[in-house]
Chains A and B, each alone.
Chain A
Amino acid sequence: MLRVPKQIYDQIVAHARRDHPDEACGVVAGPAGSDRPERFIPMTNAARSPTFYEFDSTEQFQVWKEMDDNDEEPVVLYHSHTATEAYPSRTDVSYASEPGAHYVLVSTRDEHETEFRSYHIQNGNITEEPVTVVE
């Protein structure tokens, strides 16, 4: 299960809406081993595309270094789908390389309703998990 603070949930959705129709992406860091997403870090989608996202590699290096220095890890890796459902695509699965992370998918295909779903992706297998928003 993913427990996500309301404020972070709102920030992820706002980021996805802001970048629509391009895909938005980012990280929520938390203390290593805690499974608590606490620090919201929106990332640049270097692909600037409605069908693909890619962290800017230089920005990623800085953010990963910062997490390492703070003894944090990427608890959540999120991105949006802007024309399809919030379910990992084949591309998402082929790139997924953080077996411990919660992969959050947000769909902005509907103007009013935002889908927000979370998955573990390990060895090519997708497992959906419930999302609980906490105050």
Chain B
Amino acid sequence: MAIEVRIPTILRTYTDGAKQVEGDGSTLGELLIDLDRKHGGLRERLVDDGGLRRFVNVYLNDEDVRFLAGLDTPVKDGDTVTVLPAVAGGGI
């Protein structure tokens, strides 16, 4: 068992085109560090010094982790983490 992570099209260059990858960890932050070992560069696209980047949404199962504990959100085997690019913009 592991944690399944769904990767959006724009980040699949880091996963050799894979739509779904697996990783381990007890928090989301640890999971992303684990993923970065196999898919170098991926973590940096999701996280900066201040935590999760503004441009991405990360969900644990079906909940936005911003409403949970962000990178400290506990994760466990069998969970699904979904990454989606935030859709935003504006006239100015």
Sort chain B's interface into a size bin.
20 to 34
Shortest CB distance A98–B (Å): 7
In the assembled complex, B26 has its CB within 8 A of some CB on chain A = no
In the assembled complex, B62 has its CB within 8 A of some CB on chain A = yes
The closest CB in chain B to the CB of A51 belongs to: B92
Tell me whether B57 and A61 are in contact (CB under 8 A): yes
- Residues from chain A with a CB closer than 8 A to the CB of B85 are 95, 97-98
In the assembled complex, B84 has its CB within 8 A of some CB on chain A = yes
Docked complex: B38-92 residues within 8 A CB-CB of A: 55, 57, 59, 62-64, 66, 82, 84-92
Q: Which of B55, B87, B88 has the most CB of A within 10 A?
A: B87
Docked complex: B1-59 residues within 8 A CB-CB of A: 8-10, 55, 57, 59
Tell me whether A60 and B90 are in contact (CB under 8 A): no
Docked complex: A79-124 residues within 8 A CB-CB of B: 79, 81-84, 88-89, 91-92, 94-100
Tell me whether A23 and B10 are in contact (CB under 8 A): no
- Residues from chain B with a CB closer than 8 A to the CB of A65 are 62
- Residues from chain A with a CB closer than 8 A to the CB of B91 are 23, 50-52, 81-84, 89
- Residues from chain B with a CB closer than 8 A to the CB of A92 are 89-90
Tell me whether A60 and B89 are in contact (CB under 8 A): no
Tell me whether B59 and A61 are in contact (CB under 8 A): yes
Query: What is B's interface to A at a CB cutoff of 8 Å?
Result: 8-10, 55, 57, 59, 62-64, 66, 82, 84-92
